[in-house]
Chain A
Amino acid sequence: MTFQTHTGNRGLVLEEKLIFEQGEAGRSGVDLPDPAPVKSRLGGLARDENSEIGLPGLSEPQVVRHFTRLSQKNFGIDSGFFPLGSCTMKHNPRLNEKVARLPGIADLHPMQPESTVQGALELMDQCAHWLLVLTGMPAVAMSPASGAQGELCGMMAIRAALDARGENRRRVLVPESAHGTNPATAAACGFTVDSIPATADGRVDLAAFEAKLGDDVAGIMLTNPNTCGLFERDVRKIADLVHAAGGYFYCDGANFNAIVGRVRPADLGVDAMHINLHKTFSTPHGGGGPGSGPVVLSEALAAFGPLPYTARTKDGVVHLVEEEQADDFAEEHFGGKLQSFGRMTAFHGQMGMYTRALAYMMSHGADGLKQVAEDAVLNANYMLRSLEDVLDAPFADSGPCMHEALFSDKGMAEGFSTLDIAKGLIDEGYHPMTVYFPLVVHGAMLVEPTETESKAAMDEFIGALRSVAERAKAGDEALKSAPHHAPRRRLDETQAARKPVLVWKEPELPVAAE
């Protein structure tokens, strides 16, 4: 069983060298025409003909095979169940890919005259309209490039609004269960972070929160549903209290997929909330991006949002409002006072993601989106109740969960941890759940099935996770060294960090022995 193959390959588990180890000079995967001789106008800065850039030469078939083989070392939603909590790995419809590539969308230049891009602006405007209706909010800033930049957008709008009020409030309250981006974002806006504890039932400690309010509080950054997978029952009280104290309510909308079409954040007192189009609205995660993080804003913050934005005038024309025309539009939109905090991205944001998200929203419709939230919540509760006898569920008695179920590492055999369960699941053919987040639960395991999994797929996973959990409880040593069947075993992260090798270098030729 354990013999070594000549190649190092194991059937379809193929080893693949780096392109730099395969390339040879004088080969290329493109055929370009020879440029006509012209008098160089590079101003004496032409690259030295003889100095190598260091790019390997490969033919097209080599490139196709290389990246195909790399792809086979990856796990995607298409490959299998991917219950990564908080990340919302739902099915990515291919229709969305197709429409994003339509001529007249994919080949538009961001600096084309407005008259040539009316369809694109209309598309942005429609996408914005869906987000506004689904959240019940009066304004949306489309341009943030991701959830984290959406947070930055919302918090900068809050900062700008405070500055406009002439108030020097600098403290932001952040529950300890928050995503790491929340405190990092608050810090980037010049705020200090004050952590709010959670109660034993996994929600914000209302008394502790109230005690922390004061006239130096800029606002609260609250994820709802929260990262423990629970709906914050006191969300309205929290909103009222923070407003009464003169602060704003920033809602981290990473988990909007649990309530889309069923609860409108406007009805909860939210002032700003980003929406990860790559979570709730299924634009692909792409191995780490690109994302898109439009931010809905309340009346109080709308005038402070970023430029540019789109606006439709009475003649039906949609405009891309940049700074120069902003005053013309401010009257209608912001009571005459636009006080934008500035620009966030080079152009107008992630158009390719708006296209995909709009196709997703149109496909589901208002009726389907309601079903999306309900099925996501139903699936997560099914997961919770099917596993709570074998895994510790610290908030099992805190009411129903929303779109994700949280477990802890309590009850494992000595020396066994959440990491072992995660790696054991890899051998079973699954992508592990989110591990060690949120920080408020020891050895956290956050399972988010999403609405695009069938009951059969979940039942199979439940069986696998039960089996792995039993092995961890029984102290099965084989689990400590899992995964055994993945393209790689556990990787040495300490070595990677101690002596970082971040780029490939030509190996030095061995010096001949004396």
Chain B
Amino acid sequence: MRYLPLTQADRASMLETIGAGSVDDLYCDVPEGALLKEPVDLPHHLGEMQVERDMAKLAAKNMGTASAPSFLGAGAYRHHVPATVDYIIQRGEFLTAYTPYQPEIAQGTLQYLFEFQTQVASITNMDVANASMWDGATSCAEAVLMACRATRRKKAVLSGGLHPHYREVTETYCQYSDTQVAGRDGHPEHQATADELDDLIDDQTACVVVQYPDVFGRLDDHTKLAEACHAKGALLVVVFTEAVAFGAIKSPGSFGADIVCGEGQSIGNALGYGGPYVGLFATTSKLVRQMPGRLCGETVDQDGKRGFVLTLSTREQHIRREKATSNICTNSGLCSLAFTVHMSLLGEDGYRKLAAINHERAVKTADALEGVAGVEVVNDSFFNEFTVKLSKPAAEVVEALVARGIMGGVPLSRLYPNRDDLGAFMLVAATETNTDEDIAALAAALKEVLA
């Protein structure tokens, strides 16, 4: 077996050193009958070529977004990832390292985490960011729990514009901690403004959670909502699913948000059928000690040279155990490296330009679809994703588009299975990867399908 270096002679000599007659003797503490004598009922080992062949067969059964015009978003976005990103993250010193608990020989990981934290704080316009969470949805859930800790309150108000999966994960996380989750159902044709949530905020409210741009793609200024929250002693949590957006739109920090968190997949990370992704999490200096997850901080070594370490770990499970701010241990290290490398390549100009192209592509897509009979663009405002209302059930339209080799969007019925009122709506996202030909193909196919 190619991954196992011991020879039979090694094994024999080591057993002799140990003073055991056989390997089974080393398993002598396993209860009677539980030690298997034969391999389990699964195929035996395969060479590299055979494994690759089997995997390629499975891959070939799928329709990848790279092989068809694709306008799918709803929390995951296809972007071009520069070749440099994948090269760097496959360097063994990054790929095969552990959590940097021995900082003298982990300065590579620690320094990029410090750079990552700075980049995340910069694009969200917040004071500090952590070293990543599992994904946008768990970041959102952890933000709610953090707001409850910081305010010593037990009620979270979730906007109807929040991604329904994020809401569900938040509900999962809150259900056993006496935290009440309130809010209203969202609808792409009703504008979710601060006013709509205003009457739900009271002096028991720990936080209000809004998504920006929201799940239907709409943009709202949440400055007044932040004021309304703060007037009642509550925190404003701004969630996002498209990290490219802040190159083009006002930052959540400028609204007065207390916690900004979301999904970082768009920068540097493949779609990968939903994971692994990278949760971003930023907040104000005031709240830093309430944060979940790992934090990397600057310090000096014995010789006075600048270096980096994991810090404020007294918040964390390995020190605080049941009193920790979160149970998170492993996070999304390598995905945050991909984010950092891609963001470093983009820089100020590239990030802004990428965002501008995304908006331009989406505007062009919306313009093209508005010319198709049976399609109505619902949004007044959007960044790179918007909702359309179709004259036929969206789920059926999506299937008909697939039959024509196009992945046209995500039907809202997929996100809201129990909402009959949303059957006609579809989310359409466009990024720099969508060409004029893709847009024309989508419009033409929709015209056929809706005719």
Contact = CB atoms under 8 A, between A and B. Distances in A.
Contacts of B92: 76-79
A190 B108 contact: no
Contacts of A192: 322
Interface string A1-22: 0000000100000001011100
Contacts of A53: 122-123, 125, 246-247, 251, 348, 351-352
Interface of A is mostly: loop
A342 B172 contact: yes
Contact of B351 (A55, A341, A386): A55
B51 A378 contact: no
A84 to B, nearest CB: 6
Nearest to A384: B18
A76 B96 contact: yes
Nearest to A458: B14
Given A20-B118, A99-B52, A116-B62, A502 B297 contact: yes
Interface string B80-110: 0010101111111111111110111111110
A76 to B, nearest CB: 4
A370 B23 CA distance: 11
A91 B4 CA distance: 9
B272 interface: yes
A491 B309 contact: yes
A64 interface: yes
Interface stretch (B152-160, B199-207, B227-235, B325-333): B325-333
Interface string A85-99: 001010111010111
Contact of A60 (B62, B109, B300, B345): B345
A240 to B, nearest CB: 11
Contact of B263 (A261, A346, A364): A346
Contact of A180 (B29, B66, B319, B354): B319
Contacts of B20: 381, 400
Contact of B176 (A8, A54, A190): A190
B20 to A, nearest CB: 7
A400 B51 contact: no
A34 B305 CA distance: 43
B5 A452 contact: yes
B108 A71 contact: yes
B359 A54 contact: no
A108 B272 contact: yes
Nearest to B294: A288
A314 interface: no
A146 interface: yes
A47 B249 contact: yes
Residue among B121, B132, B317, B402 with max Cβ neighbours from chain A (10 Å):
B317
B72 A109 contact: yes
A233 B103 CA distance: 37
Interface string B257-291: 00000010000001111111110000000001000
A109 B351 contact: no
Contact of A102 (B59, B138, B417): B59
B151 interface: no
Contacts of B380: 41, 43
Contacts of B364: 36, 38
Contacts of B308: 491
A200 B409 CA distance: 62
Given A110-B76, A358-B55, 18 more contacts: A29-B347, A53-B247, A53-B348, A56-B348, A71-B91, A184-B327, A235-B31, A287-B333, A290-B333, A342-B169, A347-B275, A348-B274, A350-B276, A365-B46, A366-B41, A366-B42, A372-B4, A496-B299
Given A133-B42, A370-B39, A385-B19, A183 B321 contact: yes
Contacts of A432: 102
A130 B40 CA distance: 10
A284 B334 contact: yes
Contact of B274 (A18, A42, A351, A437): A351
Contacts of B363: 38-41
Interface stretch (A206-214, A295-303, A480-488): A480-488
B350 A30 contact: yes
Given A120-B62, A188-B177, A287-B94, A55 B119 contact: yes
A87 B93 CA distance: 17
B29 A289 contact: no
B273 A120 contact: yes
A60 B90 CA distance: 17
Given A60-B84, A496-B311, A289 B46 contact: no
A19 B250 CA distance: 24
Contact of A345 (B134, B177, B303, B326): B134
10 contacts: A64-B84, A104-B64, A108-B273, A111-B76, A292-B276, A345-B135, A350-B275, A385-B18, A501-B297, A503-B118
Nearest to A97: B90
A72 B275 contact: no
B88 A67 contact: yes
Interface in A124-160: 126, 130, 133-134, 145-149, 151-152, 156, 159
B432 A32 contact: yes
B25 interface: yes
A454 B45 contact: no
8 nearest CB pairs, A to B: A43-B381, A347-B274, A78-B92, A286-B334, A324-B417, A119-B61, A110-B274, A104-B59
